[in-house]
Amino acid sequence: MAEPLTKLSLATIYFTERCNSRCVSCDYWRHGRRDIELATVQQMLPGLRELGTQTVLVSGGEPLLHPQWAEISELLKSSGLNLWLLTAGLSLAKNAAEVAGLFEQVTVSLDGSTAASYSAIRGLDAFEAVCAGIRALVREGVPVGLRVTVQRRNASELGDLVRLARKLGVGGISFLAADVSHGEAFGRHSEVAEGVALRPEDLPVLVAALDALERDHGDDFDSGFIVETPAKLRRIEAHYRALLGQGEAPPVRCNAPEHSIVVEADGGLRPCFFIAGPTQLGEAGLSEGLNAASMRHLRADIRAGLRPECRHCVCSKWFST
Ligand code: SF4
Ligand code: SF4
């Protein structure tokens, strides 16, 4: 069994499972119903304090759909926590000032560089609205980053996305492979829809896009505007190759469950985005659920490399201590 956690750098809280996007890679928008209760967040606060948590990543679903998103965020902020918002950005334009007042940083998921590719991936004709929201937020002075999940329909657009990020005035852009390996993550009730993972004939398209990024955007890598290194971006290619049986999955190094927790909208606790947890936020608060024997066993299995979810993980994270 893993030792109890006495420190927790990051807590991710799913404000809601509902979403107003229609992404092909996710099922929250189909099945998501639950919103987190203000009382649940209140119950968590002493635990966050005891564990020295500094940052809360506010996620979902689309967190800005929660009718009390501002009130809950205010509660967290007034408890001394730094808030980081992960949003699809559909309502950013109207909420920009309030978001800027509450969040230290905002990451907007933007998977297409044109209205057509955006709508093919996210299922909505909302590219211009999201770009307007991002510009509004940038004008408010809050640090904004873009996050792109690289998949079949945008594999050729990596350079265009970097140029769009520059035009929008954001502070950086980050790329990761779309998750297609976990049937249970992202509110899924079944396998990931067709059209997300790369086919063999898409691999050369991705390789050409990565080559062009390295050739044309050296300054953006050097300055950190593109958050990943070129080598890390090549892992996206290796990831999709492995899914096609054309090589080994890139090695995963991750200690996220030792330093962070994901709290679901119903108070369920997960060691990370991709692995379901055995415990709930109880009456006794966060530490009890985090350090229950079942959760410690799960963390030990993850650390020992026994969980299949880790093998094709697109979002492994190493916290340096
Ligand atoms: S991936 Fe994110 S933005 Fe897209 S439907 Fe799922 S929760 Fe919403
Ligand atoms: S590698 Fe991925 S699935 Fe495994 S613990 Fe880390 S985040 Fe979770």
% pLDDT > 70, the chain: 96
The number of distinct structural domains making up the chain is: 1
Residue 271 domain flag: yes
The parent domain of residue 203 ranges over: 10-310
Residue 185 tokens, joined: 């993550």
Would you tell me how many other CB atoms lie within 10 Å of the CB of residue 305? 10
Ligand 2 in reach of 276 Cβ (< 6 A):
no
pLDDT bucket at 191, cuts 50 / 70 / 90: low
CATH for 170: 3.20.20.70
Whether 82 contacts 54, CB under 8 Å: yes
Q: Which atom of ligand 2 is nearest to the CA of 252?
A: 1
Residue 273 domain flag: yes
Given a cut of 80, is residue 162 above it in pLDDT?
yes
Residue 4 domain flag: no
Residue 318 domain flag: no
Q: Nearest residue CA, atom 8 of ligand 2? A: 272
Residue 57 domain flag: yes
% pLDDT > 90, the chain: 86
Q: How far is the CA of 33 from the centre of ligand 1 (A)?
A: 14
Q: What is the pLDDT of residues 208-233, one digit of tens each?
A: 999 999 999 999 999 999 999 999 99
